[in-house]
Amino acid sequence: MELKVNPTGRLRGELVIPGDKSISHRAIILGSLAKGKTLVRGLLEAEDCLNTIKAFQAMGVKIIKKSPGEYLIEGVGLRGLKEPEEVIDCGNSGTGMRLLTGLLAPQRFYSVLTGDASLRKRPMDRVIKPLTMMGARIWGREDKYAPLSIKGSVLSGLEYTLPVASAQVKSALLLAGLYAGGDLKLTEPGQSRDHTERMLKGFGVNLHKKDNRIFLDSKEEIRLYGQEINVPGDLSSAAFFLVAGLITGESEILLRNVGINPTRSGLLEVVKEMGGRIELLNQRQAGGEPVADIMVRSSYLKGIVIEGEIIPRLIDELPVIAVMASQAEGETVIRDAAELRVKETDRIRAIVRELSRLGVEIEELTDGMVIKGPSRIRGGVRVKSYGDHRMAMSLAIAGLLADDMIIIEDSRSINTSFPEFPGLLKQLFQ
Ligand code: S3P
């Protein structure tokens, strides 16, 4: 499948941003583990989350679609999951696979997790190692790659400092910790997204958190109670339109219902520092998360340095930030982002290659990149997405400025996180 993008002068309109992927995964998981019913509204109906729904259905959880984005989950309680008959396929989703590994390690049954070609190349040892320290029995190719086979075990507590700031590793350990015989004490080297902690608290789990330390006390009884959850829109999806509005001329876009959790909103800080005109309107809470409508207008941008503690708070937005930087005056330097190399593809290499093909002056660093702007974007070019949804969408945004149509190869991956993307982008053409 290919995505053809035509250049445009300006973008105008209002969009409602679909549900947050990270929060949707967690709502499905915790709703399944709760006692009683959980009603989720605004759930992201993209392949990644639909695979997580299928995984829980395969383990005996009734999950019923009531209307678009609205799902009723009949939770089975912490000990109510059943051994799945078949191998569980997590598709493209690192979040699905890593969180499930943590959850399946303490079950009283055997399970196998697999995924697509991209997911089978991503490191799972970052969850296997600490889970094994808790007593888990998990096997993978080269002790590291899926398919993973998991023989449920009795787990003990763990005191552990994560080697990288990763919400997926943290969340896998928290899920395992719900079943552990001892305390769980985690320290993060930097702040990663905290949706799991927020939602566990919402479901009634007494989790203690101070700075980058998290404590789950095994003396306290752990039980989750069914909830109503309104999933906010995904800032990582809004990011494409936000950048599109900033870099195209005379644009004005209102992005409605966007999650602005500070552990995720590094992009907004970067945009402001680069001189972007964005306004947060109608700030409110939804599903235990801060939400706003974001007004974005065409802007004159200048290059900046992006490094250090902000990186985990904007890690998924870096490909589209690179596109934005290509239109900023001067040099933008991105450092401390080596984690980008183990995402759905090596995103440092991919973005440097494909933006170069489009005529951008961009240089690869081991842990980031340097982009010089503003750059003309070459049209009439075919670019590769490497089967990575965020690469495909970032390149589409670059294409808005090209001097002719560009073609993005292998764009099917957009369905993993944002199937509405091409349609919504078209809506903004005026
Ligand atoms: C996610 C955590 C991040 C992020 C991913 C979603 C999550 O990954 O990049 O898209 O939902 O927990 P890491 O935990 O590997 O940093």
Does the pLDDT value for residue 236 go beyond 80?
yes
Q: Could you say which of 215, 230, 245 is where a domain stops?
A: 230
How confident is the model at residue 430, as a pLDDT? 73
> Which of 230, 254, 272 is the last residue before a domain boundary?
230
Residue nearest to atom 4 of ligand 1 (CA): 316
Expressed as residue numbers, the domain containing 391 is 3-19+232-427
The verdict on 355 and 313 lying in the same domain is yes
For ligand 1, the distance from its centroid to the CA atom of residue 94, given in whole angstroms, is 7
Local confidence band at 127 (pLDDT 50, 70, 90 cut-offs): very high
- pLDDT value of position 94: 98
Q: Is the pLDDT of residue 257 over 80?
A: yes
CA of 82 to the centre of ligand 1 (A): 27
Residues 126 and 67 in one domain: yes
pLDDT confidence band for 245 (50 / 70 / 90): very high
Which ligand 1 atom is the nearest neighbour of the CA of 126?
15
User: Do 184 and 244 have their domain in common?
Assistant: no
Atom of ligand 1 nearest to the CA of 165: 16
The reply to whether 308 and 358 lie within a common domain is yes
Tally of domains within the chain:
2
Q: Whose C-alpha lies nearest to ligand 1, atom 13?
A: 166
Atom from ligand 1 closest to the CA of residue 166? 14
pLDDT, position 100: 99
Nearest CA to ligand 1 atom 9: 316
CATH of the domain at 26: 3.65.10.10
- 144 has a pLDDT exceeding 80: yes
Residues 189 and 277 in one domain: no
* Residue 62 shares a structural domain with residue 49: yes
Specify whether 187 is located in the same domain as 244.
Answer: no
Q: Which residues are catalytic?
A: 316
Residue nearest to atom 11 of ligand 1 (CA): 22
Residues 345 and 320 in one domain: yes
Pocket of ligand 1 (CB under 6 A): 22, 95, 166-168, 171, 192-193, 315-316, 339
- 207-210/213-216 β-pairing: antiparallel
Select from 170, 203, 230 the last residue of a domain.
Answer: 230
pLDDT tens-place string over residues 112-126:
999 999 999 999 999
Q: Are residues 211 and 67 in the same domain?
A: yes
Distance 168 CA to ligand 1 centre (A): 5
Query: Does one domain contain both 260 and 210?
Result: no
- Ligand 1 centroid from CA 73, angstroms: 24
Residues of the chain with pLDDT > 90, as a percent, come to 98
- Please check whether residues 223 and 241 belong to one and the same domain: no
pTM score of the predicted model: 0.98
- pLDDT greater than 90 at residue 381: yes
Per-residue model confidence (pLDDT) at position 287: 80
**pLDDT of res. 160:** 98
State residue 212's pLDDT score.
92
Tell me: do 258 and 407 sit in the same domain: yes
Helix 167-177 vs helix 125-133: crossing angle, to nearest 10: 30
**pLDDT tens digits for range 288-339:** 899 999 999 999 999 999 999 999 999 999 999 999 999 999 999 999 999 9
